[in-house]
Amino acid sequence: MFDKLEDLQIRLEEVLSALGEPDVTADQNRFRRLMKEQNELTPIVETYQKYKGQKQTVEDSLSMLEEENDEEMREMLKEELALARTSVEELERQLKVLLLPKDPNDEKNVIVEIRAGAGGDEAALFAADIFRMYSHYAETNHWKIDTINSNENGLGGFKEIVFMVNGQGAYSKLKYESGVHRVQRIPVTESGGRIHTSTITVAIMPEAEEVDVELDLNDCRFDVFRASGNGGQCVNTTDSAVRLTHIPTGIVVSCQDEKSQLKNKDKALKVLRSRLYEMELEKKHDAEAQARRSQVGTGDRSEKIRTYNFPQGRVTDHRIKLTLHRLESILDGDIQEIVDSLVAADQAAKLAQMNEEA
């Protein structure tokens, strides 16, 4: 590990030297690559330098302890030594995490699909609650929400809603949200006051670029139709909605959110590329079964991942056995603690696997 860290430190120096060249911006592609590499290397090298500094403190304290006779000074050196050793252990753990293989999709935008499951209108209302939760979370991260398609139930809920989250690192934070979300509460339509259990499914897909997926438009069939639902006069009176069918896989994507047929077609293609890309990722994960077991529930839409219990005001993430008694703030978008806990659990699992393989 430390040989690799020394190499990364040398590489950062080379990158910084290249960025200091007068004509570095002449080649924008090279400049962007260098800037990206600098951003990736800097936190690793800075942590490594802190690690080396604390290691030196340990050595210096041990050396001074051998020569020091004053008892008060020896106590101070022992305290300094203990703190430095603790710091060395923590920094070494941080370095192992920083050196874990990066998910190449982490910095991508995401396409989110929320669908009502068991529970009828109550499930659709809960789908709207979860859409609002992600919308508020996106706002706190300064991300932009762009709706692609929605199918309302007439009561303010969604049978289905598909939207894109545009923002740096969106996938890295939202990728653990895929799966079945369960709600336990008294529905507004329930006159007897009984608690019902309903479910929705959430799918999180990294936005696929054209280079990620080979898509032959000859394999696609486009149908246009008149949009339905809330959308204004122009949307509802012209054939602007698009239904895209990918013939080889049978995937069907509908988009009616834009007034322009061309924009709806473009959005539908983005969703199709992302679904095809997700299929390829699932095949890869299946081929690397051991690696997949080290992950904390990413990508499996059939896995029940979380329960939102209204009578007790709690939210439980079943994968990491985390229960928080602040349901209202979580549904208002305050999910960072859950996200951080899932990331930490995933990193811990991967570190344990790495130690087993070492």
Q: Retrieve residue 45's tokens.
A: 């090298």
Structural contact between residues 117 and 199, judged by C-beta atoms closer than 8 angstroms: yes
Sheet holding 196-206, edge to edge: 144-152, 158-166, 110-116, 196-206, 179-185, 304-309, 314-317, 322-324
- pLDDT tens, N- to C-terminus, the chain (358 residues): 788 899 899 999 999 999 999 888 888 888 988 998 898 899 999 999 999 999 999 999 999 998 888 888 899 999 999 999 999 999 998 898 888 878 888 888 999 999 999 888 899 999 999 999 999 999 999 999 999 888 888 788 999 999 999 998 899 999 999 999 999 998 876 767 788 999 999 999 998 877 678 888 888 898 888 776 554 444 445 677 888 999 998 999 888 877 788 888 888 888 898 989 888 887 776 655 544 444 555 545 567 899 999 999 999 999 999 999 999 999 999 999 999 999 999 888 888 877 766 5
Q: Domain segments of the chain: what residues? A: 2-98, 110-348
In the chain, the largest separation of any two C-alpha atoms, in whole Å, equals 92
**Which run of H or E residues covers position 12?**
helix 2-19
- Residue with token string 């709706």: 147
Q: Do domains 2-98 and 110-348 have the same CATH topology?
A: no
Q: What is the DSSP string of 181-241?
A: EEEEE--TT-SS---EEEEEEEEEEEPPPTTT----GGGEEEEEE---SS-HHHHHHSS-E
Closest to 113 (Cα-Cα) out of 197, 198, 181:
181
- Residue with token string 């396409």: 111
Q: Give Cα separations from 250 to 116, 208, 244, 261, 275 (angstroms).
A: 21, 19, 10, 22, 12
Q: Which CATH architecture has domain 110-348?
A: 2-Layer Sandwich (3.30)
SS3 121: helix
2-98 CATH fold: Methane Monooxygenase Hydroxylase; Chain G, domain 1 (1.20.58)
**Looking at the DSSP assignment, which residues form a beta bridge with residue 166?**
144
